[in-house]
């Protein structure tokens, strides 16, 4: 998946710890249908998220909001907007 493609096809936006100053970084989340992985899209690139694989973007969104891995202090994800169409 190319960065430009992933950036244009996010299913949710939110914030994560920036890892440097203690601030939060704005990110997007892209679901890769072929692999089931969720990518974190930042200003500098795309990176694997710490959640398990999912069957679709809806499940990935649930995992981002509820999975213990992303709710600990190091990976705490806050979803600010879901772009999933019902």
Read off the pLDDT of residues 4-50 as tens digits, 9 standing for 90 and up: 888 889 999 999 888 778 788 899 999 999 999 999 999 989 999 88
Give me the domain span that covers residue 30: 3-82
Place of tokens 């493609």: 5
Strands (E), 1-86: 12-17, 24-31, 38-41, 46-48, 78-82
Residue 39: what pLDDT? 94
The structural domain count of the chain equals: 1
pLDDT tens figures, 71-82: 776 678 888 989
Tokens of 74: 């190091």
Q: Is 44 exposed, middle or buried (0-12, 13-18, 19+ CB in 10 A)?
A: exposed
């Amino acid at each position: 998946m190319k960065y430009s493609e992933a950036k244009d096809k996010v299913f949710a936006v939110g914030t994560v710890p920036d890892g440097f100053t203690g601030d939060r970084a704005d990110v997007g989340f892209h679901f890769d249908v072929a692999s089931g992985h969720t990518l974190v899209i930042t200003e500098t690139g795309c990176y694997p998220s710490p959640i398990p694989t999912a069957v679709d973007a809806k499940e990935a969104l649930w995992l981002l909001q509820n999975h213990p891995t992303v709710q600990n202090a190091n990976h705490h994800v806050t979803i600010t907007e879901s772009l999933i169409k019902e």
